[in-house]
Structure 1
Amino acid sequence: MSHTEPTAEFLVLVVDDEPETARAHATYVDRVPGFRTGAIAANGHGALQLLAEAHAAGTPYDLVLLDMTLPDLHGIDVARRMRGRGYTLDIIAITAVRDLAVVRSAVATGITQYLIKPFSFAVFAEKLENHRAFIATMRSTGSSTSQASIDTAFSALRTTSASVSLPKGLISQTLEQVRTHLAASPARAFSATELGEELGLSRVTARRYLEHLAMSNSAVKQPRHGTRGRPEFEYRHNSS
């Protein structure tokens, strides 16, 4: 694994009945650091079978990219059967249909995000980054949580245009997650390595976000004393 990749890997199941489209989506998945396509299913029953096999083997999927128009089952039906079997993994719905009733049904089945065809890789990647930020926020809260933590977690799933003004390669949802993590422990200073381990990011990625926060005065950067070799920096929330 390269130094620019997040340390945590998300295993993704791609479900689409069009082979070329499925392969394209799988390629998109593998282009996003920290995400890997585990398998491709061409229909709903095949997807459910793959999920069952992975669950039985103790290697469950983390995310499903689920096309809504499948030859045997509607995507909504697949999602309902997944929930009925106790699979709690997140689902990103993919469809060319812009029917509000379908969108509402998707939300009701626990589908967390929606992609309307056709979409660019940038839009696709942002949805996966939203998922990463959501999971990182939920994990960082521990066994109990607060209203603010829940709000922050779900806000990560909402794509915003704020990322447009960020430096290339930075995602607004991940930036907000880093900012929130610092603010939650105002008296603590984090190195890029420490923050990356807690949020599931590589050291290099965590450092880029921390540097951006320091440049915008949202974080205070200072040398960490007592370290040997190359100087190490630490970052803390700027409460001033």
Structure 2
Amino acid sequence: MTLRVIVVDDESVTASAHAEYIRSRSGFSVIGTAFNARGAIEAIRTSFTRHEPVDLVLLDINLPDRSGYEVAKFLRAEGLPVDLLMVTADRRAASLRTATLHGAFGYLVKPFRLEDLGRKLQEYAQYRQRAGTSGEWDQASIDRLFQRQSTTSTLDLPKGLSEDTLDDLSDLLSRAKDGLSAREISEQLGLSRVTARRYLEYLHESGRVDRRSRHGTPGRPELEYSWLS
């Protein structure tokens, strides 16, 4: 079984790179790309009109004309059986829940590696294989079918870090005009400087924030962290 994919991203270079990678994966074919919500809807409609319906849409949430959530609403309103793998730079828990409510199969946070995309494609292929079997299922089989691995890294947090604090810190960094240091983060969120640095280093290692030395301050240079959008 070959699974048909449409790639939707407002950046043409990114869309092309993701489409090329998906084509390299066994069992997948890319039947279209789009750079905005209107183009996405047209590509999806066309796939059904040609009786070659798309299975999975790699859907960027932040599109220039309408959000990816609007595309998801359209699909549900039209009753089109399309699975969604949503892509966004927003990793807050509220955004993850919104994506889930819109029927997302998975959720990838920018920037992500092609290996991360490959892992989600593999999960999707396994899901479709299980869902395509016939006969009656017991509860254990149903549970396995609906099992999802988290598409964010919050469930794999190092010991001592919490999702709520990580969300608060991520929100603060994403709204800041300039980079912030562990000291500034600790003062604004009421954390110890050591704790703030642990969260910041975790985000840096996860590819969510940039880290660089801040010069021009007395004494030892501070490290400042900037959100990567």
1:124 aligns with 2:114: no
What residue in structure 1 maps to residue 149 of structure 2?
A: 158
SS in 2 for 1:93: strand
SS in 1 for 2:132: helix
User: Which AA in structure 1 matches 2:3?
Assistant: F
List per-residue Cα deviations over 1:181-233 (Å, max 9, x = no partner).
Answer: xxxxxxxxxxxxxxxxxxxxxxxxxxxxxxxxxxxxxxxxxxxxxxxxxxxxx
User: Which AA in structure 2 matches 1:89?
Assistant: V
Among residues 138, 147, 172, which one is paired with 1:146 in the alignment? 138
1:10 aligns with 2:41: no
Matched-pair contact (CA < 8 Å) for 1:19–1:42: yes
1:68 aligns with 2:61: yes
1:82 aligns with 2:69: no
Q: Unaligned stretches of 5+ in structure 2? A: 154-229
What residue in structure 1 maps to residue 26 of structure 2?
A: 33
SS in 1 for 2:19: helix
Q: State how far apart, in whole Å, the 2-side matches of 1:105 and 1:132 are.
A: 24
Q: TM-score, normalised by structure 2?
A: 0.63
1:53 aligns with 2:52: no
* Structure number with larger C-alpha Rg: 2
Runs of 4+ that moved beyond 3 A: none
Q: State how far apart, in whole Å, the 2-side matches of 1:12 and 1:99 are.
A: 26
CA drift at 1:121: 1.7
RMSD of aligned Cα (Å): 1.7
Q: State how far apart, in whole Å, the 2-side matches of 1:158 and 1:53 are.
A: 31
CA drift at 1:100: 2.3
What residue in structure 2 maps to residue 22 of structure 1?
A: 15
User: Which AA in structure 2 matches 1:151?
Assistant: D
List per-residue Cα deviations over 1:140-191 (Å, max 9, x = no partner).
Answer: 2x15433212111122x31699xxxxxxxxxxxxxxxxxxxxxxxxxxxxxx
Q: With CA pairs under 8 Å and 6+ residues apart, which has the higher RCO, 1 or 2?
A: 1
1:113 aligns with 2:106: yes
Q: TM-score, normalised by structure 1?
A: 0.60
CA drift at 1:51: 1.0
CA drift at 1:125: 0.5
Number of positions where the alignment pairs a residue of Structure 1 with one of Structure 2: 152
Q: Unaligned stretches of 5+ in structure 1? A: 1-7, 162-240
CA drift at 1:13: 0.3
What residue in structure 2 maps to residue 99 of structure 1?
A: 92
CA drift at 1:88: 1.5
SS in 2 for 1:97: coil
CA drift at 1:139: 1.2
Q: State how far apart, in whole Å, the 2-side matches of 1:23 and 1:37 are.
A: 10
Percent identity for Structure 1 against Structure 2: 37
